[in-house]
Amino acid sequence: MNSYVIETVDLTKKYQDQFAVKQLNLHVPKGQIYGLLGRNGAGKTTTMKLLLGLVRPTGGKIHLFGEEHSRFPKQDYNRIGSMIEAPAFYENLTARENLQILARLRGQHRKDTVERALSVVGLQQEEKKQFRRFSVGMRQRLGLAAALMHEPELLILDEPMNGLDPIGIQDIRAYLLELCRNRGTTILISSHVLSEIEQLADRIGIMHKGSLLEETGLQELNQKSRRYVEFEVSDVNRAALLLEREFQISDYTVLEGRGLRIYEKLEQRAKVNQCFVAAGIVVDHISIYGEKLEAYVKSLIGGGGIG
Q: Which is nearer to ligand ATP, 46 or 82 (CB)?
A: 46
CB 48 within 8 A of CB 8: no
By CB under 6 A, the residues from 2 to 61 that bind ligand ATP are 15, 20, 38, 40-46
CB 273 within 8 A of CB 238: no
Q: Which is nearer to ligand ATP, 193 or 286 (CB)?
A: 193
State the nearest-atom distance from the C-beta of 290 to ligand ATP, in Å.
28
Q: Which is nearer to ligand ATP, 43 or 81 (CB)?
A: 43
The length of the chain is 307
User: Measured between alpha carbons, how far is 57 from 24 in angstroms, rounded to an integer?
Assistant: 11
State the nearest-atom distance from the C-beta of 12 to ligand ATP, in Å.
12
By CB under 6 A, the residues from 184 to 203 that bind ligand ATP are 192
State the nearest-atom distance from the C-beta of 107 to ligand ATP, in Å.
31
State the nearest-atom distance from the C-beta of 10 to ligand ATP, in Å.
17
Q: Which is nearer to ligand ATP, 41 or 163 (CB)?
A: 41
DSSP tag of 168: H
Q: Which is nearer to ligand ATP, 56 or 109 (CB)?
A: 56
By CB under 6 A, the count of residues binding ligand ATP is 11
State the nearest-atom distance from the C-beta of 43 to ligand ATP, in Å.
4
User: Measured between alpha carbons, how far is 190 from 197 in angstroms, rounded to an integer?
Assistant: 8
> At a CB cut-off of 8 Å and minimum separation 6, what does 74 contact?
none
> At a CB cut-off of 8 Å and minimum separation 6, what does 8 contact?
24, 25, 26, 47, 50, 51, 60, 61, 62, 63
Strand blocks (E) in 16-46 = 18-24, 27-29, 33-37
Note the residues at the interface with ligand ATP (CB under 6 A): 15, 20, 38, 40-46, 192
